Amino acid sequence: MRANEIKRRWQAGEACVNGWCAIPNSFSAELMAHAGWDSLTIDLQHGLVDYQAAVTMLQAISTTAVPPTARVPWVEPGIIMKMLDAGAMGIICPMINTPEDAAKFVGACKYAPLGYRSSGPTRAVVYAGSDYLSKANEEILAIAMIETTQALDNLDAILDTPGLDGVYIGPTDLAMTMGAPPVLDPTDKGVVAAIERIIDAANARGLGAGIHCATPEYASKMIQRGAKLVTIASDGRILAAAAAAAVKACKGDNSEAKPAGPGSAY
Ligand code: 3PY
Ligand code: MG
């Protein structure tokens, strides 16, 4: 089976600079795949991507060796298994708040005896190799999003879930549940302390810690702080910023760019 390069990097103590695909299109995914990211995530939660678009995006990404993951909409085994069958090499699952959520999530990502994933890796065998069924439990990553105060309260129990490979911090939701401004790249002291606590607790167990960032500067800072997967914005966000900058440069417009609200952070 194709080795999961995210896992290889984590084992070598290296971080992945991760791209985020929210645009439901195979060509934008192909462009992202050729842009030099270490890994890519197709976002079926807040991205505009449905299952059929996601399949074509996985095919586009597989014109390169970049490992694809998917963020699913919720802790729902059906879509987790469908994305894995389509060839995602890992799943990022939002709102894992309890050890029960974590066990349900990890179980959906792993075949028996580790979990209850159903056998039927229709495209995954084509993409990842004919020995997929026997190797998938080792190579497929189950990454739980920690993004609420409830998850913080249950952090140790969630991280101790057998088979969990990593965590992914959602700073916006986390801040919102802490009563802080809901933004990526937070500076609120309480939110920053929570992020650092999650990264340290994951690293102490040999789990990969990921975080969604808005800027390369914050992402680099997070790598220095111990994060092993840092996302920078999204395809849509990067496209919008580059387009706005080009128009502004051509028009010689010196006015401030319109700030995007937190809701458009992806
Ligand atoms: C959040 O900030 O809540 C996220 O889910 C980022 O992906
Ligand atoms: Mg979130």
Residue 94, in any domain of the structure = yes
Total of domains in the chain: 1
CA distances from 69 to 21, 77, 138, 186 (A): 10, 16, 15, 25
Model pLDDT for residues 125-166, shown as the tens digit of each residue: 999 999 999 999 999 999 999 999 999 999 999 999 999 999
Residues that are catalytic: 46
Report the candidate in 143, 150, 155 with the shortest Cα–Cα distance to residue 227.
143
With a cut of 80, say whether residue 260 has pLDDT above it: no
As a residue count, the chain comes to 266
Full residue range of the structural domain in which residue 167 is found: 5-251
Show Cβ contacts of residue 15 under 8 Å, excluding neighbours closer than 6 positions. 9, 38, 223, 227, 228, 229, 230
Report which of 24, 25, 7 is spatially closest to residue 16, judged by C-alpha positions: 7
Q: Is 120 left (phi over 0), alpha (psi -120 to 50) or beta?
A: left
Q: pLDDT tens digits, residue range 55-113?
A: 999 999 999 999 999 999 999 999 999 999 999 999 999 999 999 999 999 999 999 99
Within-domain flag for 256: no
pLDDT at position 262:
45
Question: Tens digits of per-residue pLDDT, 36-54?
Answer: 999 999 999 999 999 999 9
Determine, yes or no, domain membership for 257.
no
Nearest CA to ligand 1 atom 5: 170
Ligand 1 environment, Cβ below 6 A: 147, 170-173, 212
Flag whether 146 is in a domain: yes
Ligand 2 centroid to Cα of residue 86, in Å, is 24
Give the Å distance between the CA of 79 and the centre of ligand 2: 18
CB 71 within 8 A of CB 41: yes
Out of 44, 172, 215, 230, mutate this one to test ligand 1's pocket (max ligand atoms within 8 Å of CB): namely 172
